[in-house]
Amino acid sequence: MNLHHRTTVSITHCTPVDADHPLAAAELARAAGDRVEWIWELVEAGVITPLAPAEPPAQWAFHGESLRWALEARRLQRDLDANLDATALIIELQREIRRLRSLLGGDAAPR
């Protein structure tokens, strides 16, 4: 009897993202599954903001919250086929809803 065994190995690389470990534009792009130029487009549309906007784009670094919004932008573009302007507007409205909910006491408002 000839038995074949398969072994699967998963390698996971974790990078901390916090105030002491911001993401470079290339890292943010890789984490969001896109290219650096797309990150620049998100900045131009106001979806995300680099920590030091006056720096050249090649030197931009981003807070962890930018990863959240970049992933949300990717999802909106993929699932709804939203263009960048529509994506930026939807994210702006989501942020405003979160802000207003926090003023009302957080989880007390319906979702």
Closest of 70, 7, 77 to residue 39, by C-alpha: 70
Mean pLDDT, rounded, for 21-47 = 95
Tokens of 73: 């932008």
Name the more confident of 94 and 17. 94
Give the model's pLDDT for residue 106: 62
Give the model's pLDDT for residue 8: 81
Q: What is the pLDDT of residues 13-27, one digit of tens each?
A: 666 777 778 999 999
- By residue count, the chain amounts to 111
Task: Please name the helix (run of DSSP H) or strand (run of DSSP E) that holds residue 56, with its range, or none.
Answer: none
* Secondary structure (H, E, C), 81-93: CCCHHHHHHHHHH
